[in-house]
Structure 1
């Protein structure tokens, strides 16, 4: 039985949620159309100015590129004022020359076929309420029980037969109610499989299967969790410096040290996210006073952006290839704790990064305004672990209307799509009911598999896999370019098969540096908390 209506209603016009800033972006593309950017008049610390963030990135790229030029004027000159150089234009006009010169590019598309994830179901936990002396006499029983073991937890299917294909430079918005499986999908697609009982199906990254990609190129897929977990006693700068020490590549520009590069990128990241004023402030947590919740979220965003920004701008340099960065990125509800304006700026920043660096980006958001929604190319809608839609973002609302759901013009598209999976929120069109409209997760999944979007999805996936297979071991192909770029980003004494950028000794050295900072700052904090009350009491 097919639930699809023959009519294809048009998606109603919706107003953008932000009237101060408007960005037109059609991805994937070779560049970003920034002609409709209107600069926001804001001097506070509460929001990110997208135009200024991009300008900061261009300024950093200009400085690094000029340093690599053989005929650089060593007499001086303000590079910031040389507005004739534009990185985007340079990349667009010189891409052919870069290919001839052998510049390696890491453009990794992702395909997944019949992806199934199984986790642990509910576990019964018994709490002991006996007295201590009763516990003592029963200790042999508890010891024997722990050795024998109790009944194993029943497995639970989390994701059922997911299929899709995502090209480099595309952004996918993952929507679903809490508990639908959005976080599980984001973890699985970035090879974070340790928390599941089993993951079945075929997931490929530019032709690599998930096992090989996870073993040799684990750092190329990154997952940003919903919670902001940091060392509370480290400052914002120290937190990001730790990531920079582990992700800066082995090959640097001439006349530049690794410390100079790390400091340059750190300053740019802080300026782009408008948290430069928190540079020397501790991150903090629920118990240690530090930066605000929104600023802490931006620290998490900056920490993940380190692997994307640190050397991507060196693609234009004649002496250095692309280096360390994650190419498949998942962001799990990263706008939590951000106001509407900052969340929109964050989404536009992801759009800029994805377009410039040709990343493959997956984002899960529980509340997405129309301005945020318009930044995405595709939408994945999940209902209780079932894939009920995967296709163009601009056609998602029209698809749900064609199934027989009533249109809600006052709702944003993201809320409307999620509401169609909620029995308490959705409404059927006039003359339609649950009898002739897919209402359960299984019915919605079945309707999607009978739609044109399913056929389009399968064809797109087969085309991508055929291209990867046709390239084979061609050094100029997607896989060959990825291997070359991954090889060049390694530092000295790091094996090609090692997924890390730095050597084991380098990682130990960086960890010791961080632990030393924690010990020093924890001691100072403890002494301050003890001495202050002592002095007050003594006086």
Structure 2
């Protein structure tokens, strides 16, 4: 089966990041407001709005992740591991240039020799973050949902009609993800019967893949998938990376040994916002064993790497003393290790081989420009003209109206679990 691609050139950039710190707003005390408190809050809002607009008061913030460094060469895929709350999603968002949720992102992030600011300003659709949540219109069919994305992303150089291009690409994508049989089924949600939860997750992944971007962050993309479907998606992602040079970061909370060995080139391990390892995937297990941690007999490598960040799950090898066990000391041990020196050598190699090589950046910019319509707004996300976008949106609105009226006529169909 052919890979679901319409763009194979100009996607080989990779990403490098050095000493990245992400600061988030400090959570304020909250609770249920009584009526006097609510009236007072509404009364004070205009004053606070004016003060926040014209004053230089800084927002109270805290570090979410600290001193994160790493590199992804074109075509590489990195696994990000850590317990919930360790900062995995934050790192994925920061690398995908999704900085809006944060107070500040410090440090250097570059895609080839394109800075994160330039990427956000001129090529914002080339870095994609696919979150955990599956947000769709429940009354649209799978086919209509995915085709809308392809219609908006159709390259200007494609001679096919919009409908034929979208239909062919959608069929190829759905077949690659193993959900071609759901194309005429509504997506559904908790109240409208539609596709299964695992199929809905793959629809989300199909929409993200339809962009054909240069970089992608995938936040726990196999949640709700069975082992076979999860492995199928990760292999598809790896094959796309190899053929196009696209780079990816993936966070997983349940990864098999097969997934780890076949689908990932590098791995990053986070512990309470600190980076305690980043390097080649085949070096991580040996590093932590040499540090003094024991991998149990039937424990997979991803489980072992995550377990070292849990006081209840990690095991110390017999005979080892003074093993670092808190986030700060483990991060310091990594920065003093030979693996960290190799990481810095890889970063230097990336600058020499990719960032300073004009061919990578020139190919990327030329391809990004080639697929755009001459009538497209200069810095718009979609490469189509505003007229094509409006037409596609009108068709989608009609589909929503038709689906909604059908739902009203036939009545609600609740999911039975």
Same fold (TM over 0.5): yes
Seen in structure 2, the aligned counterparts of structure 1 residues 219 and 327 have a Cα distance that, compared at 3 Å, is same
Maintained 8 Å contact 1:171/1:376? yes
Q: What are the superposed Cα offsets for residues 98-150 of structure 1, whole Å, 9 maximum, x if unpaired?
A: xxxxx9533111000111101122221131346xxxx5xx7764443334449
Is 2:205 the partner of 1:285?
Answer: no
Q: Specify the alignment match of 1:296 in structure 2.
A: 200
Q: Deviations over 1:454-497 (max 9, x none)?
A: 111112212222345643xx5xx111111111111111312555
Query: What is residue 124 of structure 1 aligned with on the other side?
Result: 29
> Is this contact kept in 1: 2:141–2:185, CA < 8 A?
yes
2:32 maps to 1:146: no
**How far, CA to CA, are the matches of 2:349 and 2:378 in structure 1?**
30
Task: State whether structure 2 residue 297 is matched by structure 1 residue 391.
Answer: no
Q: Which runs of 4+ in 1 moved over 6 A?
A: 150-153
- Residue in structure 2 matched with residue 170 of structure 1 by the alignment: 76
CA gap of 1:140–1:106, structure 2 versus 1, over 3 A, is closer
| Unaligned runs of at least 5 residues, structure 1 | 1-54, 65-102, 308-324, 533-539
| Cα distance, 1:211–1:110 mapped onto 2, change above 3 Å | same
Q: Is the 8 A contact 1:114 1:161 kept in 2?
A: yes
Matches within 5 A, 1:63-82: none
Q: Identify which of 361, 367, 373 aligns with 1:485.
A: 367
Q: Deviations over 1:405-455 (max 9, x none)?
A: 12212110000000001111111111224xx11111011110111111211
Q: How does 1:365-514 map to 2 (within 5 A)?
A: 365-374=252-261, 375-433=263-321, 436-468=322-354, 470-471=356-357, 474=358, 477-495=359-377, 497-514=379-396
Aligned residues: 404
2-side partners of 1:231 and 1:225: how far apart? 17
Partner of residue 333 from structure 1, selected from 193, 213, 220: 220
Name the residue aligned to 1:518: 400
- Residue 306 of structure 1 pairs with residue 214 of structure 2: no
1:225 aligns with 2:128: no
* TM-score normalised over the length of structure 2: 0.91
After alignment, is 493-502 or 191-200 more displaced? 493-502
SS of the aligned residue for 1:162 comes to strand
CA RMSD of aligned residues (A): 2.3
- What does residue 13 of structure 1 align with? none
Aligned to 2:105: 199
Distance 2:39 2:24 in 1: 32
Question: Which one of 64, 78, 101 corresponds to residue 158 of structure 1?
Answer: 64
Task: Give the 3-state SS of the residue equivalent to 2:198 in structure 1.
Answer: helix
Q: 1:162 and 1:508 mapped to 2: Cα distance?
A: 41
SS at match of 2:67: strand
Deviation for aligned residue 1:276: 1.5
1:56 to partner: Cα distance = 4.3
Give the gaps of 5 or more residues in structure 2. Answer: 50-56
Judge conservation of contact 1:115–1:200 (CA < 8 Å) in 2. Answer: yes
**1:160 alignment partner, SS class:** strand
Q: Distance in 2 between matches of 1:295 and 1:113?
A: 37
What's 1:258 paired with? 162
C-alpha spacing 1:174/1:226, structure 2 compared with 1 (3 Å):
same
TM-score by length of 1: 0.71
Partners of 1:193 and 1:199 in 2: CA distance: 7
Three-state SS of the structure 2 residue aligned to 1:486 is helix
- The separation in 2 between residues aligned to 1:188 and 1:201, in whole angstroms, is 11
1:263 Cα shift?
A: 1.3
* CA apart distance, 1:191: 0.3
Secondary structure in 1 matching 2:411: helix
